[in-house]
Amino acid sequence: MATAKSSMSSVPLGLPLARALDQSASLASLTRRLAQSNARYAAVCLHLPEAMRSLVRPGPIDDEGWSLLASNAAVAAKLRHLLPRLLDTMREQGWPELPIRVHIQAR
């Protein structure tokens, strides 16, 4: 009678997530961009009307710009009106100048 070999012994141990992110250049870059996007959002969030704050999320950032994600078209329209103020805030806080893109993303 054959005995089943344990599959556990053939599975390599996983890396802790933080270590895996640090060891991969592309994942490390993604982590940095996520942190930059969140930090930029924290800077501009105070300049959004309080009722809108829960309807806007930070989005992707790349060499071409930074995205804010609006939950609906009305919020996106209001964000577009606030863009000059948000860009001024980013400039005042010393962030490199990047255009802010507004996208609608339903939750």
Q: What is the pLDDT of residues 13-47, one digit of tens each?
A: 676 766 766 677 777 788 888 999 999 999 999 99
pLDDT at 12: 60
Whether the pLDDT of residue 94 is over 90: the answer is yes
Whether the pLDDT of residue 7 is over 60: the answer is no
d(CA 53, CA 42): 10
d(CA 40, CA 60): 11
Q: What residues contact 77, with CB distance under 8 A and at least 6 apart?
A: none
The upper half-sphere exposure of residue 48, i.e. CA atoms within 13 Å in the direction of its Cβ, equals 23
Domains and their CATH numbers in the chain: 19-104 (3.30.300.180)
Angle at 103 between CA 99 and CA 89, to 5 degrees: 40
